[in-house]
Amino acid sequence: MSALDTVLVPINREGYRFIAIFAVIAFVLFQITEPLGWLGVILTAWCAYFFRDPERVTPTRDGLIISPADGVVQMIERAIPPEELGMGNDARTRITVFMNVFNVHVNRVPMDGTITKVCYRPGKFFNAALDKASDQNERQAIRMTSSGGKDIAFVQIAGLVARRILCEIKEGQEVKAGFRFGLIRFGSRVDVYLEDGIEALVIPGQQTLAGETVLADAGSDEARRHGEVR
């Protein structure tokens, strides 16, 4: 990859109309006063930055569970998956990745496999960093069976600012790890529920890249990792 490629990042098609709207607003502001116009230019540039959609290099070994979102690992704890997915009432390890408004917001599939259930549930718009957001916020929950037979789930959750969840995969669809499947506007989180016996290989506070960072390994018996700020 050249230095130019790192600057000229592709824009997700969902962003074009928003960028156009911001550009029109900037033009109108220029007619009012130049300082406001330049503010509009800055906001238009930020909108283009928000909808960037860079290519990612996805690890392809069987059993790897890849982060579906850019952001920071906020929590790793035991929790019951969304009831609409029909995964029972037993708690599983849940890895929460929180996205702020400066992260890439294109979401990617965590494993190779088959999508077995896709459920949308309307809800509130609490700050996505709060634990109650998993239960009460608007969400798009997805269950899948990996090519290795593992039953996992990943959930797009709207946040305080996010008002639109886009999910483009369907039940019965065969998918690959790293496959782009959706996007959330503008700041939110994604929860990943692991099957019992699979330990997280990331730690709270760690930065993740969608389609690249390994969250867990279904083929490993490595114990849960710990870390510290250095």
Q: Are residues 22 and 79 in the same domain?
A: no
> Is residue 26 helix, strand or coil?
helix
Q: Is the pLDDT reported for residue 134 higher than 80?
A: no
224 in a structural domain: no
Q: Are residues 20 and 113 in the same domain?
A: no
| Cβ–Cβ under 8 Å, residues 63 and 148 | yes
Domain CATH for 111: 2.70.70
Q: Is the pLDDT reported for residue 3 higher than 50?
A: no
Show which residues are catalytic.
Answer: 188
| Cβ–Cβ under 8 Å, residues 94 and 133 | no
CA 179, CA 176: separation in Å to the nearest integer? 6
Regarding predicted confidence, which is higher, 225 or 81?
81
Number of domains in the chain: 2
pLDDT at 131: 64
Task: Give the burial class of 31: count Cβ atoms within 10 A of its Cβ; 0-12 exposed, 13-18 middle, 19 or more buried.
Answer: exposed
85 in a structural domain: yes
Strand partners, 55: none
Q: Are residues 46 and 84 in the same domain?
A: no
Residue 161's domain spans which residues?
Answer: 64-217
CA 124, CA 133: separation in Å to the nearest integer? 8
pTM, to two decimals: 0.85
pLDDT at 198: 92
pLDDT tens per residue across span 87-104: 999 999 999 999 888 888
Q: Are residues 16 and 72 in the same domain?
A: no
pLDDT tens per residue across span 6-59: 456 788 887 788 889 989 999 999 888 888 889 989 999 888 887 888 899 999
CA 220, CA 39: separation in Å to the nearest integer? 51
